[in-house]
Structures are given as C-alpha cells and as structure tokens.
Amino acid sequence: MTTRKDGETLTRVGPGTPMGEMFRQYWFPAILSKELTADGDPVRLKLLGEQLIAFRDTAGKVGIMDHRCPHRCASMFYGRNEKGGIRCVYHGWKFDAEGNCTDMPNVPAAQDFKHKVHAKAYKTHEQNGMVWVFMGDQQNVPPFPLFEVAMIPEEEMEIVCVQRACNYLQALEGDIDTSHFGFLHAGSVDPAVMDATNPTTYAVIDKSPEYIVSDTDWGTMYAAHRDLGDGRIHWRTASFAFPFWTMQPDGPFEKHITARAWVPLDDEHTMFTFFNWKGNIPALRSDTQGVTLPDLEVEWDYQPNTTDWLGRWRLKSHEGNDYNIDRESQRHRSYTGIRSVHLQDLAITESMGPITDHGFEHLAPSDKMITQTRRRLLNAVKKFQETGEAPPTVETPEVFLKARSGDFFAPKGQDFNDAYQEQMAASANPTGKLVYRTAAE
C-alpha cells in the first residue's frame, strides 16, 4: 500500500519538492522542433510546475527560459523574437537563447549593467525532431541519455505528443500495468479470429498471467509469463526507466524500439511524448482477414493548439464530452465504447482525478510492477535528498541501450534473463548502438 505521505512525495513535482528536485537532475523532452521557427512566435511552455517560454533565434538555436523578464517581471511571451534574441516589449531589454542580456536600451550607456543581468534560462539540446531541456544546476550538466529510439534518424522515427489532465504517475502506471490490455483494449476481441503467430494474442487468451518483477540498472522491469502447453513460454515484458519513461509491450520484441516519456507539466497535467521507430511491427490491430479489431484503432484527433499554458496537443475527445463514449457500441461491439487505444488509456487515467488518492487503492498481485516502481522512485528520491548524489541513470546514460520491451516465445525451463539476453542479441539494431550483457555479466 502507498501511504498518503508517500503519495504526496511521488506526485508533487514543483520547485523545492523532493521529486521535483530529483527530476530536475535529468534531461527530458520539452517541445517538438516543428513547434518553433527561427524568429517566430515564442511558445508558452509549462514544465515541472514552472511557467516558461520557448523560442528559436535567428540562427536556429532554441532558448527555454522563465517567462518573466528579469527587469520588471513582464511576460516575455509578448516579446519580439528578432535578430538573435527575444526583446521584452515593456522596456526593450533583450536576451539571447542562453539568457544573457544583450541590450538595455532604456538605460544610459554610462549606467548600462547588462553584463550583470541574466534571465533564468535552461540548457537545451535538439536532436531528431525534439528539443530536450535540462532544468537542474546549469553549471553541472549531465551527459545526454542514450535512448536508441531517440538516436534514430528523424525520417525513420515518429514522435507523438498528447496532453493528459492528470498526474504523471497515474498516466505512467498505465504502461506498466500489463493485465489491463486484455480488458480495456481487447475486451471484445474474440481470440478465435486472431493470428496465433502474433505473440500479443496470448495477452488476450490468458488474462491473468504470472509475473516476474525486478529492479534494473535503468529502473524496473516486469515479465508476464504464460505456459502455452507446447513446450514454450510466452513472455511479455516492459520497463520503467528513470525519471519518468516507459517501454511498453506493444509488439514483437525483436523490432520493438520505442520509448515514452510522461513529462510532468505540473502536478495535474502530463505530456505523453512517444518515440517510435517506423520499423516497429505493431501489436494486434486486425484479425486474420485484415479487419480492424474492436477498440484497437490508433488515431490522434487533436483540438487546435492555443497559446495558453496548457494549450498544446489536447485531443478533441475529453472529459467534457465523456471522451465521446458510444454506449450503443459498448453494448454490442466494443468493450469500452471509446474509440482508439490511447483514448481509452487517457479516459481511465483522467477518471482517477487529477491526482489519485493512493489511500483508496487495493492493489493486487497483478500490480507488482506498480508497487516495485513506486518503491524504486521513493528509495531514489530519499537517497538523493540524503546524499545529493546523482540519482539513477544520470551519470550512466548508456544503460538505456540494454532495455527493450515486447512479446517473445522461449523454451519452457529457460531462465528469463537468459531468454531476454538472447532476444536482445537477435533484435533489430537500427543505430548500431544497441549493447547488452550476457547472463554471466
């Protein structure tokens, strides 16, 4: 059981909170490259409870900084993005992408002190369609994380963003809760019409598997296993990776190169940021005749983005219209009546409220991965508070290259770790950077 105190520690991410301070030790995705144009409009951006602006200067460099001008705290959102920096329209003070004040035109030249003024700006790194940010100590910047999917050339990768109106933790936990797949997403699927060669089939046939859950170098990992009765075990594995990443099981392991960040905008809003290699083989989407299975559509139907703090990447289906649930379809065709996999997840996690009351939960054996991940996070944040040492993965970015998720078959009796390493060795490696350890290591 997660206590109320632990729940508070896990879910609060603003400045000065234990989890918020730990999260600020990591690089994480902030905004899509395509959302910013050189000398274009600045964008309001909320991250870890801070109100920021993002802009791209004349040379293409991205700046992310506190939206308040250091002079009189007017919002730089209304500023002029021009000639290598953003200029506050209140008194004309100008700042470059690194926060340096480069012009102070309302101050006489003899009294100019721009070299002493610096906007609160954060380090950025742009790579393959995504702008990443580091919001910790700007004089002690860690190495960039080595997620293989984030290193794949932009043309071979898709990135999807969707905002959720709930805390990052309950959104994230949907990805590491494997038993919900057979109900929420595939509850109306008839196993008889499914392709038996697709391993995801067995998550529908047997909805109550046994689990192995363990800590890893990158975070935590589970492996749900099902005895197929023919000398094989079906393994369905997924990971949590620090600070708020998941690698969910959604297809055959050997080509499942993917990662999802659950970026806290504030305590009650999260940006789902999905990196996916286009060479991935998707999980069950259609039957053996090519007909799309009930509830397993994948679609992203957005509202137009707006300029408010939480105005980006919101779906047209939301709590205000009951996620467009179709009760007639629910009675006759669909388990949920809610169209598309992601929308089903969004509806359920938002229905828990902005922040789940963990004291109301009754966790079951099927929730082992959730309890293990919460414990891992709590132990990490406690150690960080006590010692100040870099939390897990910050100084070892290469550990992410050992993590993979998905479904595979292995001989009955083979140790899971041995089977996992065999699968890693045989898996697709589009960047040539995939590394793995043998069982002896």
Q: What is the pLDDT of residue 440?
A: 41
Residue 280's pLDDT is what? Answer: 85
Contact partners, residue 386, CB within 8 Å, separation at least 6: none
Beta bridge partners of 247: 239
pTM for the whole thing?
A: 0.95
Contacts with 236 (C-beta within 8 Å, 6 or more apart), sequence order: 178, 199, 200, 202, 203, 209, 223, 224, 225, 226, 249, 406, 407
pLDDT at 289: 61
Q: What per-residue confidence (pLDDT) applies to 438? A: 47
Calpha distance 223→147 (Å, rounded): 21
Sequence-ordered list of residues with C-beta below 8 angstroms from that of 190, at least 6 positions apart, any chain:
none
> What confidence tens digit (pLDDT) does each residue in 52-91 have?
999 999 999 999 999 999 999 999 999 999 999 999 999 9
Contacts of residue 425, Cβ cutoff 8 Å, sequence gap at least 6: 436
Q: Which two tokens stand for residue 288?
A: 């053996």
| pLDDT, tens digit only, all 441 positions of the chain | 789 999 999 999 999 999 999 999 999 999 999 999 999 999 999 999 999 999 999 999 999 999 999 999 999 999 999 999 999 999 999 999 999 999 999 999 999 999 999 999 999 999 999 999 999 999 999 999 999 999 999 999 999 999 999 999 999 999 999 888 889 888 888 877 777 777 778 888 888 888 999 999 999 999 999 999 999 999 999 999 999 999 998 888 999 999 999 999 999 999 999 999 999 877 766 666 666 677 777 889 999 999 999 999 999 999 999 999 999 999 998 999 998 999 999 999 999 999 999 989 999 999 999 999 999 999 999 999 999 999 999 999 999 999 999 999 999 999 999 999 999 999 999 998 887 654 443
CATH 2.102.10.10 residue window(s) in the chain: 27-141
Cα–Cα distance, 176 to 239 (Å, whole number): 7
Residue 67: DSSP 8-state: S
User: What's residue 285's pLDDT?
Assistant: 67
CATH code 1.10.10.10 for 27-141:
no
> Cα(202)–Cα(61) distance, rounded to whole angstroms?
48
Whole-angstrom distance, CA of residue 111 vs CA of residue 370: 58
| Dist CA 223 CA 418 (whole Å) | 13
Residue with tokens 């963990």: 358
Phi, psi of 21, rounded to the nearest 5 degrees:
-70, -35
Joined together, the tokens standing for residue 372 give: 């293990």
179 three-state secondary structure: helix
Q: What is the dihedral of CA 282, 258, 241, 164, to 10 degrees?
A: -80
| CB within 8 Å of 265: residues ≥ 6 apart | 46, 47, 48, 49, 163, 271, 310
Distance between CA atoms of 20 and 12, rounded to whole angstroms? 7
| Distance, CA of 270 to CA of 281 (rounded, Å) | 27
CB 123 within 8 A of CB 134: yes
Q: Could you give the maximum distance between any two Cα atoms of the chain, in Å?
A: 86
Q: Which residue type is seen at 249?
A: P
Which H or E run includes 86? strand 85-87
